[in-house]
């Protein structure tokens, strides 16, 4: 009796072990990045979200800009001081996507959906999503310009435990732009030839933290700019995802190259001192 | 000795069983293959009922009150207006109109969520399959895509899910069924029910049975949409679609204007006066 039980146990153990192995290979190779990942905010920094989270936005970033693009940046700041949007007008006034890398700032929490063929970064706002292809595809001969770029990734098992822990990503353009690192209009080069390299991984000691080490290669910079963006998993296991539609609540209006505001009572109004009204020559024809 | 071995073996069996159960909580082989790129099957279009022509041809079962709203919309569009259709402002089409699938669709199935990804305005949706309940405040905080809760069903008992049943509530206005402006009730109480399933004979054909329940209708309005998978041996390119990028509409207050090719404001309808520039006159003082 005992011997039969022993045989049965061995058979069952072997069967389960085979099943577990197969399942582990198929199902548990990828890390758990489920949930909503909010921006890691450092108390006391102030201002709008920044590219380098450890420093304040704008000049506080101490961005390694070339002299030419430092001048572009200063012009953007000067325009914003007078009521304009500077180099940020396309995103703020026209609701165009921010594009890489600002799309990874997590104004609202990000979601990472992992499949064997691709990892999807779902972004709430004008930047819809990024696709990071992990299906071993080659770089296409031609890449159509986009705000998010074309991303190819590769999973790495750094500690050899059978579970991937790092997603290495390269993102190439050409990009659409102009793009900025933050809302001050801290500029990337207008040639839109940026390249981004990322390493995305869970923190080894605090699993609530997700790192995205981003290296920016851009002709507006004197050197590659490396930052470690961190995200914090929100505690709700069933996150409540919201919508953010820029056009719904935007009180800025772009007419050609000029930006105006919509007053609380629904009229066009200037955003800068002495800003002239828009040219309405095409309406005059109907007054005749 | 033998008994100790048996006890140890049983302990191993129990441990492995528990591990297996945990791992098999997400087994993608149980789900239909919905990978790839899906586009409208022939006959599909920017209308709710693909079996009928657009506009009045849809024969929408509107109440008398909302048929009048629709007629007013058609009249406004005939004069150059947009009627009730908000998408000219690059506001999302919302549910159920996003399922016209204005751009190629990707369906990403995970254990907790089925993502419908469509690059057009803000047409992507999440269908939650994680057992959540309806949020208590969704009527106070509606979304254009609504709140969708889904359930996978194995209708033929073969151990593999074949139907995704979805209910969507908490859908935000303004919305219309199509570009002609077939309206929803202003009370924002629309409920949409869906059944997604692959064709039994053609795994590259996806069916969507869609039923809208709305107080502007005399009865639930049910339609069937069909999507076909793009067959290619090349990596799929997903084109970014940015509505605002080339949008020539400029909304100031309640009025819509156009942007001319030389970047100036122009009227959107005959005899439309220019915007009131009273706040600019003040800065000249």
pLDDT in the model for residue B96: 98
Of A46-50, A250-254, B10-14, B164-168, the poorest mean pLDDT is in B10-14
* Residue of B109, B122, B247 to mutate for A, most A C-beta atoms under 10 A: B122
Nearest CA-CA distance, residue A217 and chain B, Å: 23
Give the residue, B271 or A232, on which the prediction is more confident. Answer: A232
Q: Kindly list the distances between the CA atom of residue B179 and the CA atoms of A71, B70, B168, B193, in Å, as whole numbers in the listed order.
A: 46, 12, 22, 22
pLDDT in the model for residue A163: 95
Asked whether the beta carbons of B155 and B130 are under 8 A apart, the reply is no
pLDDT in the model for residue A257: 82
pLDDT in the model for residue B22: 36
Nearest CA-CA distance, residue B239 and chain A, Å: 8
Of B3, B9, B242, the CB nearest to A13: B9
Query: For residue A95, which residues of chain B lie inside 8 Å, CB to CB?
Result: 90, 244
As a whole number of angstroms, the distance between CA B126 and CA B114 comes to 6
The answer to whether the CB atoms of A122 and B115 lie below 8 A apart is yes
pLDDT in the model for residue B23: 36
The percent of residues in chain A predicted with pLDDT above 70, rounded, is: 89
Instruction: Report how many Cβ contacts below 8 Å link chain A to chain B.
Output: 181
pLDDT digits (tens, 9 = 90+) for B204-239: 999 999 999 999 999 999 999 999 999 999 888 899
- Region B180-208: mean pLDDT is 97
The percent of residues in chain B predicted with pLDDT above 90, rounded, is: 75
Of A6, A28, A256, the CB nearest to B23: A28
Of B98-107, B115-124, B145-154, B155-164, the poorest mean pLDDT is in B115-124
pLDDT in the model for residue B11: 46
The answer to whether the CB atoms of A266 and B253 lie below 8 A apart is yes
Report pTM: 0.88
| Helix orientation angle between A2-27 and B2-23, rounded to the nearest 10 degrees | 30
Nearest CA-CA distance, residue B82 and chain A, Å: 16
A4 part of contact set with chain B, CB < 8 Å: no
- Region B106-133: mean pLDDT is 94
- Region B111-117: mean pLDDT is 96
- Region B272-280: mean pLDDT is 93
The answer to whether the CB atoms of B279 and A267 lie below 8 A apart is yes
Asked whether the beta carbons of B229 and B38 are under 8 A apart, the reply is yes
Selection from A116, A57, A278 nearest residue B279 by Cα: A278
Of A124-133, B60-69, B127-136, the poorest mean pLDDT is in A124-133
Selection from A203, A206, A227, A252 nearest residue A53 by Cα: A227
- Region A168-183: mean pLDDT is 96
A25 part of contact set with chain B, CB < 8 Å: no
Of A7-11, A136-140, B104-108, B176-180, the poorest mean pLDDT is in A7-11
Query: For residue A281, which residues of chain B lie inside 8 Å, CB to CB?
Result: 264
pLDDT in the model for residue B270: 85
Asked whether the beta carbons of B218 and B63 are under 8 A apart, the reply is yes
pLDDT in the model for residue B171: 97
The answer to whether the CB atoms of B267 and A282 lie below 8 A apart is yes
pLDDT in the model for residue B3: 57
Q: How, if at all, do strands A268-269 and B221-229 pair?
A: unpaired
- DSSP E strands in chain A: the ranges are 37-39, 111-114, 118-122, 129-133, 150-156, 166-172, 195-202, 209-217, 225-233, 252-255, 258-262, 268-269
- Region A175-179: mean pLDDT is 94
Interacting residues of A132 by C-beta distance below 8 A, sequence separation 6+: A118, A119, A120, A121, A151, A152, A153, A167, A169
pLDDT digits (tens, 9 = 90+) for A204-257: 999 999 999 999 999 999 999 999 999 999 999 999 999 988 888 888 988 888
pLDDT in the model for residue B260: 93
Question: What letter does residue B132 receive in the DSSP assignment?
Answer: P
pLDDT in the model for residue A128: 87
Look at residue A159 and tell me whether its pLDDT is greater than 90.
yes
Confidence bin at A137 (pLDDT 50/70/90): very high
Q: In which element (H, E) is residue B205 found?
A: strand B205-213
Query: For residue B260, which residues of chain A lie inside 8 Å, CB to CB?
Result: 282
Look at residue A17 and tell me whether its pLDDT is greater than 80.
no
As a whole number of angstroms, the distance between CA B5 and CA B3 comes to 5
Size (chain B), residues: 285
Look at residue A191 and tell me whether its pLDDT is greater than 50.
yes
B263 part of contact set with chain A, CB < 8 Å: yes
pLDDT in the model for residue A4: 60
Tokens at B264, concatenated? 């100036």
Question: What letter does residue B235 receive in the DSSP assignment?
Answer: P
Tokens at B158, concatenated? 């073969």
B269 part of contact set with chain A, CB < 8 Å: no
166-225 in A: which are within 8 Å (CB) of B?
Answer: 176
pLDDT in the model for residue B120: 84
Interacting residues of B63 by C-beta distance below 8 A, sequence separation 6+: B215, B216, B217, B218
Asked whether the beta carbons of A283 and B274 are under 8 A apart, the reply is yes
3-state secondary structure of A94: coil
Interacting residues of A263 by C-beta distance below 8 A, sequence separation 6+: A269, B279
Q: Which residue of A has its CA nearest to B109?
A: A115
Mean residue pLDDT across chain A: 89
Confidence bin at B284 (pLDDT 50/70/90): very low
Of A6, A114, A147, the CB nearest to B6: A6
Tokens at B65, concatenated? 């009150």
Q: How many CB atoms lie within 10 A of CB A1?
A: 5
Q: What ipTM was predicted for this assembly?
A: 0.87
Asked whether the beta carbons of B227 and B39 are under 8 A apart, the reply is yes
Confidence bin at A3 (pLDDT 50/70/90): low
pLDDT in the model for residue A196: 98
pLDDT digits (tens, 9 = 90+) for B12-57: 444 444 333 333 346 788 999 999 999 999 999 999 999 999 999 9
pLDDT in the model for residue A79: 93
Give A153-177 as a DSSP string: EEEE-TT-SSS--EEEEEEE-PBPS
Q: CA-based Rg of chain A, rounded to a whole angstrom?
A: 25
pLDDT in the model for residue A15: 45
Look at residue A21 and tell me whether its pLDDT is greater than 90.
no
Mean residue pLDDT across chain B: 89
Confidence bin at A19 (pLDDT 50/70/90): very low
CA B36 to chain CA centroid, nearest Å: 18
């Amino acid at each position: 009796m005992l011997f039969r039980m022993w045989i049965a146990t061995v058979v069952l153990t072997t069967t389960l072990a085979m099943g577990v192995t197969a399942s582990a290979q198929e199902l548990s190779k990828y890390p758990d990045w489920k949930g909503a990942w909010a921006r890691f905010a450092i108390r006391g920094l102030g201002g709008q979200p920044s590219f380098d989270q450890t420093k304040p936005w704008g000049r506080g970033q101490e961005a390694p800009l070339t002299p030419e693009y430092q001048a572009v940046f200063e012009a953007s700041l000067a325009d914003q001081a007078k009521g304009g949007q500077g180099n940020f007008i396309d995103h703020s006034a026209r609701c165009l996507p921010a594009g890489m890398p600002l799309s990874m700032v997590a104004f609202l929490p990000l979601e990472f959906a992992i499949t064997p063929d691709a990892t999807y970064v779902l972004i709430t706002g004008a930047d819809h999503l990024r696709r990071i292809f992990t299906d071993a595809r080659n770089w296409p001969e031609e890449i159509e310009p986009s705000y998010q770029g074309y991303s190819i990734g590769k999973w790495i098992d750094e500690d050899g435990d059978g579970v991937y822990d790092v997603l290495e990503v390269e993102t190439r353009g050409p990009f659409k732009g102009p793009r900025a690192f933050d809302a001050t209009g801290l500029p990337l080069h207008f040639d839109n030839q940026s390249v981004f390299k990322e390493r995305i991984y869970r923190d080894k000691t605090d699993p609530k933290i997700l790192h995205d080490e981003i290296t920016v290669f851009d002709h507006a910079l004197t050197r590659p700019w490396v930052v470690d963006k961190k995200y914090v998993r929100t505690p709700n296991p069933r996150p409540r995802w919201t919508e953010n539609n820029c056009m719904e609540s935007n009180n800025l209006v772009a007419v050609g190259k000029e930006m105006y505001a919509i007053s609380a009572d629904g009229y066009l109004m200037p955003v800068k001192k002495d800003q002239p009204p828009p040219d309405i020559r095409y309406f005059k024809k109907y007054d005749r | 000795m033998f008994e100790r071995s048996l006890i140890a073996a049983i302990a191993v069996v129990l441990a492995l069983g528990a591990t297996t159960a945990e791992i098999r909580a997400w087994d993608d082989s149980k789900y239909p293959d919905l990978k790839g790129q899906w586009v409208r099957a022939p006959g599909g279009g920017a209308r709710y009922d693909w079996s009928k022509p657009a506009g009045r041809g849809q024969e929408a079962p509107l109440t008398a009150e909302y048929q009048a709203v629709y007629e007013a919309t058609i009249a406004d569009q005939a004069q150059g207006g947009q009627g009730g259709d908000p998408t000219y402002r690059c506001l999302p089409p919302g549910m159920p109109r996003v399922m016209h699938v204005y751009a190629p669709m990707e369906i990403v199935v995970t254990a907790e969520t089925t993502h419908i990804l469509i690059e057009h305005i803000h047409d992507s949706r999440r269908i939650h399959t994680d057992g959540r309940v309806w949020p208590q405040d969704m009527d106070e905080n509606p979304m254009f895509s609504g709140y969708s809760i889904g359930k996978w069903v194995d209708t033929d008992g073969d151990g593999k899910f074949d139907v995704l049943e979805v209910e969507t509530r908490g859908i935000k206005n303004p919305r219309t069924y199509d570009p002609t402006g077939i309206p929803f009730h202003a009370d924002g109480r629309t409920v949409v029910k869906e059944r997604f399933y692959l064709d039994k004979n053609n795994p590259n054909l996806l069916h969507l049975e869609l039923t809208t329940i709305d107080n502007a209708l005399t009865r639930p309005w049910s339609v069937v949409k069909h999507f076909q998978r793009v067959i290619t041996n090349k990596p799929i390119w997903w084109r970014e679609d940015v509505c605002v990028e080339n949008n020539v509409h400029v909304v100031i207050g309640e009025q819509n204007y156009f942007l001319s090719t030389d970047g100036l404001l122009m009227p959107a309808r005959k005899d439309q006066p220019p915007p009131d520039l009273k706040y600019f006159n003040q800065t000249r003082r």
